[in-house]
Amino acid sequence: MSSDRASIRELLQQIKGEGRSTLRPDEARVLCEAYGIPVPREGIARTAAELSRVAADVGFPAVMKIVSADILHKTEAGGVVVGVKNPAEASQAFEEIMRNARAYKGDAKIDGVLIQQMLTGGLEVIVGALSDPSFGKVVAFGLGGVLVEVLKDVTFRLAPATEQDAMAMLESIAAAQILRGVRGGAAVDRDALARIIVAVSRLVTDFPEIRELDLNPVFAAPDGATAADVRVLLDFTPPPQRYRPSQQEILQAMNRIMRPNAVAVIGASPEEGKIGNSVMKNLINGGYQGQIYPIHPKAAEILGKQVYKSVTEVPGPIDVAVFAIPAPLVAGALRECGAKKIPGAVLIPSGFAETGNVELQDEIVRVGRECNVRLMGPNIYGFYYTPKNLCATFCTPYDVKGQAALSSQSGGVGMAIVGFSRTTKMGVSAIVGLGNKADLDEDDLLTFFEQDPHTQVIAMHVEDLKDGRSFAEVASRVSRKKPVIVLKAGRTAMGARAARSHTAALAGNDRIYDDVLRQCGVVRAMALKDMLELARCLPILPTPKGENIVIITGAGGSGVLLSDACVDNGLKLMAMPSDLDAAFRKFIPPFGAAGNPVDITGGEPPTTYRNTIALGLEDGRINALVLGYWHTIITPPMVFAKLTAEVVEEFRHKDIDKPVVASLVGDVEVEQACDYLFDHGIPAFPYTTEQPLIVLGAKYRWARAAGLLAN
Amino acid sequence: MSSDRASIRELLQQIKGEGRSTLRPDEARVLCEAYGIPVPREGIARTAAELSRVAADVGFPAVMKIVSADILHKTEAGGVVVGVKNPAEASQAFEEIMRNARAYKGDAKIDGVLIQQMLTGGLEVIVGALSDPSFGKVVAFGLGGVLVEVLKDVTFRLAPATEQDAMAMLESIAAAQILRGVRGGAAVDRDALARIIVAVSRLVTDFPEIRELDLNPVFAAPDGATAADVRVLLDFTPPPQRYRPSQQEILQAMNRIMRPNAVAVIGASPEEGKIGNSVMKNLINGGYQGQIYPIHPKAAEILGKQVYKSVTEVPGPIDVAVFAIPAPLVAGALRECGAKKIPGAVLIPSGFAETGNVELQDEIVRVGRECNVRLMGPNIYGFYYTPKNLCATFCTPYDVKGQAALSSQSGGVGMAIVGFSRTTKMGVSAIVGLGNKADLDEDDLLTFFEQDPHTQVIAMHVEDLKDGRSFAEVASRVSRKKPVIVLKAGRTAMGARAARSHTAALAGNDRIYDDVLRQCGVVRAMALKDMLELARCLPILPTPKGENIVIITGAGGSGVLLSDACVDNGLKLMAMPSDLDAAFRKFIPPFGAAGNPVDITGGEPPTTYRNTIALGLEDGRINALVLGYWHTIITPPMVFAKLTAEVVEEFRHKDIDKPVVASLVGDVEVEQACDYLFDHGIPAFPYTTEQPLIVLGAKYRWARAAGLLAN
């Protein structure tokens, strides 16, 4: 292949030299052949004598075309014959084409007749590749035909794609069943299609100047697949390179920034209501135990802390500087941070790209890079890191410690995180504002949270990924260890428009985002509230070991709705084995419903809940439980909550820890019961049958992608 | 048509007599022609002389076939020629067919040669009809071909369908764009297709014995559509008839049952914890002002009320009897209710069909009918009707009066309604348990709520519609006056399975439910929590007058998410006219974002919110406002809530009342602000950008279906 590569390199250089941006069919054919992408067989017969050999190589049916630089309009010249079925027809066609060509243009220089394999039958599919502004080279697969064009049934993966990625793509389209053959149609050669997908993804990776590539259609047959038409668009402009420190450098900086031993507040203020005052108060009142250095040109002391005129005057080392000064002063202060070797600046000030002042933002990025200071923001609320009691923000302090790390690109969403966390007592390790993401972004945060022992789940509100490729690489690695949840704003055309005016960022094609995030094992939340609930619940939910889910419900009506929600969230109700069915039946009234859901009926005492839940935990074939509680006088909400927590706890002591989620329907007392259950490791929700399954479904999606599930 | 109908009737009778359940092609052709469904033209030429006339009538291309009762295998006999292109070819084919036929079977009696129009090109679609167990005759439309079969892209409507229904069906499939022509393909003749859909729907309505009918494929061309193949399945078993009183009779009974002046409690009990005791307490403690008659064989007084041995002993009239006695005693007590002329019985007891005791349920239905007593339940919690302070239930009393009427088929869901209503202070007119729906069901309730002045929205949890046809008729009428919300449980295959085991009811094809509910103007809720939120919010939201929605947001990030949610809920962001854009710009900082969303930016004082909201209400081109609030110190949550409520109120006084919904992101104080806004007629939600748009989207769906929107 290396010699092939060299010759392709040479070919592309030559095309560049000619100032072209597209390939001729014969050139495109060279690329395909070099990467093992089957194209129709062909050959040129210069004489009638050569014809039989060439035709035998190509096979029938065939298309025959005049080859002459002097004849541009081949069909008009009578120089094309299609559907040639056998050697006799080929001879006849050869003579006819030659005769027509001479009649058309007597002095034409004729090189011969091209005989090309005519592709018929099979299923028409499309394999392509494009350069996404965020993710770079991406490979695409879809069915051909006008209907699919209308339904947009196409799937994407980052290039290069593995064989496994390619096989997953064949399953990812809505009409996947077609490939397996329906209504007596034959199944296509999946391996052959996968090989083409992989080859295309490698080709565009090896030659970044290939901006777009389309194999359309590819004829997929039961025994192979052939690209009938190849289109290649080139772009020799080198893509902008983003500054990417090494993982070690990122960690060195991030560990100091996020868990600092000393914080400077540049623009600290003694004046109530000022941002620089709020930041000081939050640091102090939040209980931060490290050094706090207020920086102010005139004041001597702020909130009992000694003031310095500049960070350079501070005696000890500083790990992070929180900026609360106007935008035009930021660059100057950054240089001082550089002189002091502070690894990071938290840039609260606005007045940069988000207000149209792109130059000022470019300048601070340049200064940051020169001085080796990483920038968080600008245009952010700051960040929280609860293991250090650190509230480096002008918002209110937040102190419910836990295992969820959250970030938001928008300040509003950040405030929603704080409010939701506080009211639901969501345990949080960190909340980080990323704002304009002039420098630090999601991949830096992921790299930090990956090794942060206090973080078990990471949830991110994202408007755009400035370097989706790098995000994907890091997220793929991190998501195998800890769930990564992403709320992608600007999903829809309207949403994307608002994103443009808000962040001046180009919002990506949502289908690409969707596929690539899934490819990286990221759990995508479709709503803000869902992202928050997942961040709250995923860390307390153990990882399931298999796909078998059983619903145990006191309300038959909830059972139906919970079953609906199972399907909606890609979960599988276990087909109940008869012995297990019999075992459940021992505990429930004779008119309780068979199978799954296990309907224990509404009038049952606490023991029925207890016995059936215990059986569900004990039986090794069951991997997760969904509980549907119905408020009755016989088993009041708190009685149910306590017995459930107790049984689950008992089994945890026996090292049996399965995911259990609950839906509680009843009067307002169920709210308190839900809180109690949550505090005991059981995500539970009142007045909804959907939310518990959204949570369980997300845990499963993560576990499947991380390869933690057997089947 | 009436003579046509008579002859079809005769034909079907004849087929019934022959014991057949399918039609022969020539018989199916008769039905199609009678209903104006185009089928391929055809004619028989007995002689070569007749050929040219017949062929001219049929046109080319054509198929020609031997007509002879003695030749069964026409192709084998060389009796079929396809692709006949012109008169000359037709003559040749005629001779060939005749010659072959005679050679094949010398003594065959030959009736001539059939010349049939050969359909080619055009788009293949499917028009069909089926008999749904709940909805009866239903007409279907979809695109033909294997791909659509895989994607299940098909739509249904109740038969008979109007022209308007049929045109809507053409828009309802996912691949609707195909019909308009894509990639240079011609648009099909929509009117011709609609005529076929209407004709099929009338045919199966006129002849109920047609169980299934398939026109597959129909070739849809730019100038007409023709059914190439027709399949008809018959079923002469008459469908079971359901007892349906007249609307007047329903109302007479329902108005007494739901707003009684006197209530009897059969099985009233002095004993704490008994259902008959809880019902008595709830009636008394709930504040019901009518007569309460406890019925008990022995006690003299219960909770201060005089006890009677039987309803027949009660001196005055009784409007409703609440049953709290064991199932086997119900039939006897019902007879006494009949004797006392009580119009309705509320059957709390379980132990009927839901436990497998179908006979006992059939018996009480029979008794109820004989005695002219309507039955609510059995197997229910009872019902609430707040305008009368009536809590005819064994659950806790509920007293927040309002305009939402809710019903549930399941007791668990009923308890969720009570709990949610109480905690959110949802104003309720009624909550009704329907349980096994042995008699009273959703259509009876709809008929009552339609004319109940205290009810402005109706929300129903439905597991199955025993008489979907009747429900559809009533819902179509009621939904033009008041929003009707339905949560259909058992949507998915898994859910449907649980429904079967729970209610022994056959769950319908969900796509049929979905399409028919939409056809009836019903707003479908896809989640329990959504149904509850819609019931809470729809009554307080004014009806929009047009589609133009403007988002005003303090948080750009919320703006993006709110825009996403707009699209998700079928709402249209207004394209901002430049004069209006300029008018908004006067109030917001120069770096606020242009267009829609109007991004006023985060640091703005209350006046900016006030001015922009006022402008949004004032400008006649804007029909609804979506507010995105971001918690800041400059405009705290309650300040925002109060100013917003105030501005909206001001405009209401000027008779400008537009729907306004709000998303509040911030710290926990936003929760109180949301409550305040809701109390002032503005649905507002904390920590979510989706919920306000789900609510607004539902109001729009209702208003569009009810014909209340201009465009």
The pair of structure tokens assigned to A8 is 């392709």
Measured in angstroms, the CA of B118 and the nearest CA of chain A are apart by 23
The pair of structure tokens assigned to A26 is 């014969």
| Contact residues on chain A for B556, CB-CB shorter than 8 A | 354, 410, 412, 498, 502-503
CA distances from A317 to A256, A268, A313, A324 (A): 11, 18, 10, 20
Nearest to B591 among A177, A355, A489 (CB): A355
Q: What pLDDT is attached to residue B711?
A: 53
| Contact residues on chain B for A687, CB-CB shorter than 8 A | 416, 419-420, 423, 528-529, 532
Residue among B503, B443, B382 nearest A557 (CA) = B503
Residue length, chain B?
711
State the Cα–Cα distance between residues B360 and B353, nearest whole angstrom: 8
| Contact residues on chain A for B551, CB-CB shorter than 8 A | 498
Q: What is the mean pLDDT of residues A506-535?
A: 87
Residue pLDDT, tens place only, A639-698: 999 999 999 999 999 999 999 999 999 999 999 999 999 999 999 999 999 999 999 999
Q: Does A281 touch chain B (CB under 8 A)?
A: no
Q: What pLDDT is attached to residue A495?
A: 58
Q: What pLDDT is attached to residue A147?
A: 67
| Contact residues on chain A for B595, CB-CB shorter than 8 A | 497, 501
Cβ <8 Å between B273 and A633: yes
Q: What pLDDT is attached to residue B503?
A: 28
Residue environment code for B272-309, b if the CB has 16+ CB neighbours within 10 A, otherwise e: eeebbbbbbbbbbebebebbbbbbbeeeeebbebebbe
Average pLDDT, chain A: 92
Query: Could you state, in chain order, the average pLDDT of each consecutive group of 10 residues for chain B (711 residues)?
Result: 84 94 89 96 91 91 90 86 92 94 91 89 88 90 78 90 96 91 85 98 96 91 92 88 90 98 97 93 96 96 97 97 97 98 97 92 97 96 97 90 96 93 94 96 97 98 92 97 95 58 41 92 95 96 96 92 95 95 92 82 90 97 97 93 98 97 96 97 97 98 91 53
| Contact residues on chain A for B415, CB-CB shorter than 8 A | 555, 630-631, 665-667
Hey, which residues 61-90 in chain B have their CB within 8 Å of chain A?
none
Q: Does B260 touch chain A (CB under 8 A)?
A: no
Q: What is the mean pLDDT of residues A462-479?
A: 94
* Domains delineated in chain B: 1-35+123-239 (3.30.470.20), 41-118 (3.30.1490.20), 247-538 (3.40.50.261), 543-705 (3.40.50.261)
The pair of structure tokens assigned to B455 is 């009810």
Residue among B710, B247, B667, B270 nearest A421 (CA) = B667
Residue pLDDT, tens place only, A174-189: 889 999 988 777 899 9
Residue pLDDT, tens place only, A107-148: 989 999 999 998 877 888 999 998 888 899 999 999 887 666
Q: Please count the CA atoms within 13 angstroms of the CA of B312 that sit on its side-chain side.
A: 9
Nearest to A415 among B350, B590, B631 (CB): B631
Q: What is the mean pLDDT of residues A234-243?
A: 85
Q: Does B396 touch chain A (CB under 8 A)?
A: yes
Residue length, chain A?
711
Q: Helices B468-478 and B510-519 sit at what angle, rounded to 10 degrees?
A: 30
The pairs formed by A183-188 with CB atoms below 8 angstroms and a separation of 24 or more are A183/B146, A183/B149, A185/A123, A185/B146, A186/A221, A186/A222, A187/A222, A188/A122, A188/A123, A188/A125, A188/A220, A188/A221, A188/A222, A188/A225
Residue pLDDT, tens place only, A324-374: 999 999 999 999 999 999 999 999 999 999 888 999 999 999 999 999 999
Q: What pLDDT is attached to residue B172?
A: 93
Hey, which residues 11-30 in chain A have their CB within 8 Å of chain B?
none
State the Cα–Cα distance between residues A292 and A280, nearest whole angstrom: 8
Q: Does B563 touch chain A (CB under 8 A)?
A: yes
Phi, psi at residue B45, to the nearest 5°?
-105, 115
Nearest residue of B to residue A496 by CA position? B560
CB count in 10 Å sphere of residue A304: 9
**In whole angstroms, what separates CA B409 from the centre of its chain?**
16
Please say if the pLDDT value at position A571 is more than 60.
yes
Cβ <8 Å between A690 and B529: yes
Nearest to A566 among B356, B494, B566 (CB): B494
Phi, psi at residue A485, to the nearest 5°?
-110, 135
Q: Does B180 touch chain A (CB under 8 A)?
A: no
Residue pLDDT, tens place only, A380-402: 999 999 999 999 999 888 889 99
Type of residue at B360: L
Hey, which residues 525-554 in chain B have their CB within 8 Å of chain A?
527-529, 532, 551, 553-554
Cβ <8 Å between B529 and A492: no
Q: Does B494 touch chain A (CB under 8 A)?
A: yes
Torsion of CA B481, B487, B493, B494, to 10 degrees: -170
Angle at B65 between CA B63 and CA B66, to 5 degrees: 165
Residue among A150, A541, A697, A628 nearest B413 (CA) = A628
Mutate to test the interface with B, among A146, A396, A560 (most CBs of B within 10 A): A560
Q: Is-contact B608 B573, C-beta < 8 A?
A: no
Residue pLDDT, tens place only, A351-363: 999 888 999 999 9
CB count in 10 Å sphere of residue A366: 12
State the Cα–Cα distance between residues A695 and A692, nearest whole angstrom: 5
pLDDT > 90 fraction of chain A, expressed in percent and rounded:
79
Hey, which residues 569-588 in chain A have their CB within 8 Å of chain B?
573
Q: Of A76-80, A99-103, A503-507, B461-465, which gets the smallest average pLDDT? A: A503-507
DSSP structure class, residue B22: B
Mutate to test the interface with A, among B183, B415, B547, B631 (most CBs of A within 10 A): B415
Cβ <8 Å between B413 and A149: no
Cβ <8 Å between B690 and A631: no
Cβ <8 Å between A560 and B667: no
Residues 6+ apart with CB under 8 A from B164: none
Torsion of CA B270, B272, B276, B281, to 10 degrees: 90
State the Cα–Cα distance between residues B198 and B129, nearest whole angstrom: 11
Cβ <8 Å between A557 and B413: yes
E strand or H helix that includes residue B200: helix B190-206
Q: Does A504 touch chain B (CB under 8 A)?
A: no
Q: Does A497 touch chain B (CB under 8 A)?
A: yes
Nearest residue of A to residue B529 by CA position? A688
Label the pairing between strands A301-302 and A262-266.
Answer: unpaired
State the Cα–Cα distance between residues B585 and B574, nearest whole angstrom: 16
Residue pLDDT, tens place only, A290-320: 999 999 999 999 999 999 999 999 999 999 9
Q: Which three-class secondary structure state does DSSP give residue A113?
A: strand
Q: Does B508 touch chain A (CB under 8 A)?
A: no
Using 50, 70 and 90 to split pLDDT, how confident is the model at A504?
Answer: very low
Q: What is the ipTM of this complex?
A: 0.90
Residue, of B556 and A435, whose pLDDT is higher? A435
Label the pairing between strands A305-306 and A301-302.
Answer: antiparallel
The pair of structure tokens assigned to B637 is 């949550």
Measured in angstroms, the CA of B443 and the nearest CA of chain A are apart by 20
Q: What pLDDT is attached to residue B499?
A: 45
